[in-house]
Chains A and B, each alone.
Chain A
């Protein structure tokens, strides 16, 4: 019997067909990528902007009478290098816009848009959304766009993150501080350890946020570490070290040490219930030298000379030891003055 002929579509061709169909199915409507005229792009007046420079400024040149003249020229300068690479190679990632009348409004890619105009381009590649995305979606898109930028400051990331968190919390009807690490890591697409840091910074108090916004704290891990310190004193201490340029490792060590130090508590207003005070609070200090001075001075008293031996080998650099030493002195003095 003659052998039956076998025919087969090549895998390459079948794979190609399959990939084409699945990508068209998955992205149609979601992801319209098209080339649109730059002239039709406008910024969204409802979105806060970082740049003073406007699209009009690039088309019509900045007038010297402009109150932001110097700042705008600086911004143009900073766009020159992107503009040059756009001249050579165009943009790599499309910008994101949504349709607004016969114009397109920017969601992400303001710098790329301005630089493309600067480069003398007429059109730009854009992902086109059908309508204005909600606050959460916009802030997430901006996050994704921005995260690829290496020069993005902690300040810019935090600002972006605050928008995401607010929008997300609103959509879930919860407070920003109730957002879990898992939720945050899924929202912005990062590992949990990273999300942990972001959440710490997100929930940091006004003082730390102010330092980040003033661009004085630039490192996420450091900022997260600082936000986690409970004791006010220790915190002041670590913050000033951080501002002085201490490394993350050094700061971590400081935080560890501070945990073993009795912290100064702010006097809490309380209702007096008529109970007589029965002890004297000798106070507390974060200056170990002061403790040493007090102890040394007391021991100089000839009447106490016999106690000096007990205070010989003290590690004056360790808060815990110093505290214990001071307590020991108090107990000995009490024994002498019953």
Chain B
């Protein structure tokens, strides 16, 4: 059974997208697992790392995925050549894009289609959106082709985030050790708790933990982390690794960065080691503990 990890917190800027990228590339490159990364965020930042995103002529500022490399206009008469994860909400076929990283495939975002799905309010439609990603990921073809599936979510608690949670087997909450961020953790935990109640024993949703992210050597970050670890119930869910705020983590996201991936840095590199340890912790939990 494919393990499905969702990086979620409804507060923006916590490092969901960066963390999704790191985990997916770690799984594919370091572990050699067949990996699929899914971009559920209408901002489509993650998609842009792996494929060219075009500005949507129909929608200012919106992005659509470039033509699929397998697209042949002469043969594919009933396909416009583009595919995104949003297709699942419109009854359209989904075709993952290959990436420059071995073992890693991408289902990109489609800004306007995802936003429309996020904006549904009618009850029966909302329910369909909630379950659609789960239905898609349960398809035998998907299960057969991937060992690890990573989902990046938009910074909200809307239908797209809920759909990701409903589909997930594991949840990671990246968070800064700051006031608003910790309030954000609380909101996300509520969502996770709600979901655990609707799961059966053989299909649990496991909270891998809270990953302290963008940590700086300041009193505030240290105190908050300590406060959390002093609470017995919380301590078990606070990952023993922290990710420091480092320029390299944003530098590698730049187009034409060299190297492009943190796991291509020297094995002695401090940043690589830091993220690799965190990814290793998460992946061990995901693969071997529930």
Contact = CB atoms under 8 A, between A and B. Distances in A.
Interface of A: 4-9, 13-14, 16-25, 27-29, 31-34, 128, 130
Contact of A13 (B182, B190, B199, B220): B182
B198 interface: yes
A19 B224 CA distance: 18
Contact of B197 (A6, A14, A32): A32
A33 B195 CA distance: 10
B227 A14 contact: yes
B228 A4 contact: no
Contacts of A7: 219-220, 223-224
B186 interface: yes
Contacts of B204: 28-29
Interface stretch (B158-166, B231-239, B262-270): B231-239
Contacts of A19: 233
Contact of A20 (B193, B220, B232): B193
A24 B193 contact: yes
Contacts of B189: 17, 20-21, 24
A17 B234 contact: yes
B199 A18 contact: no
Given A7-B219, A13-B186, A20-B189, A32 B198 contact: yes
Contacts of B288: none
Contacts of B183: 13
Nearest to A20: B189
A130 B201 CA distance: 8
Contacts of B185: 17
Interface residues of B, number: 29
A130 B200 CA distance: 6
Contacts of B192: 24
Interface in B198-245: 198-202, 204, 207, 219-220, 223-224, 227-228, 231-234, 236-237
Interface string B171-188: 000000000001101100
Nearest to A18: B233
Contact of B199 (A5, A20, A21, A28): A28
B196 interface: yes
A17 B193 CA distance: 11
A17 to B, nearest CB: 5
17 contacts: A5-B219, A9-B228, A13-B182, A13-B183, A14-B227, A14-B234, A17-B189, A17-B228, A18-B231, A18-B232, A20-B193, A21-B189, A24-B192, A27-B197, A29-B200, A29-B204, A34-B197
Interface of B: 182-183, 185-186, 189-190, 192-193, 196-202, 204, 207, 219-220, 223-224, 227-228, 231-234, 236-237
A9 B227 contact: yes
A-B residue pairs, 5 tightest by C-beta: A28-B196, A29-B201, A24-B193, A7-B223, A18-B233
B247 to A, nearest CB: 25
Q: Among the interface residues A6, A18, A34, A128, which one has the most CB atoms of the partner chain B within 10 A?
A: A18
A14 B231 contact: yes
Contacts of A18: 231-234
A7 B179 CA distance: 10
Nearest to B192: A24
Nearest to A25: B233
B228 A28 contact: no
A20 B223 contact: no
A32 B231 contact: no
B201 A22 contact: no
B186 A24 contact: no
B134 to A, nearest CB: 15
Contacts of B233: 17-19, 21-22, 25
Contacts of A130: 200-202
Contacts of A20: 186, 189-190, 193
Contacts of A32: 197-200
B6 to A, nearest CB: 16
Nearest to A6: B223
A169 to B, nearest CB: 28
Nearest to B185: A17
A196 B104 CA distance: 67
B10 to A, nearest CB: 15
A6 B218 CA distance: 11
A5 B219 CA distance: 7
A5 B221 CA distance: 12
Given A14-B234, A17-B234, A9 B224 contact: yes
Contacts of B186: 13, 16-17, 20
A27 B196 CA distance: 8
B197 A28 contact: yes
A333 to B, nearest CB: 83
A83 B224 CA distance: 51
Contacts of B234: 14, 17-18, 21
Contacts of A17: 182, 185-186, 189, 228, 231, 233-234
A167 B67 CA distance: 65
Contact of B198 (A5, A21, A34): A34
Contacts of A5: 219-220
A14 B185 CA distance: 11
Contacts of B193: 20, 23-24
Q: Among the interface residues A24, A32, A130, which one has the most CB atoms of the partner chain B within 10 A?
A: A24
A7 to B, nearest CB: 4
Contacts of A28: 196-197, 199, 204
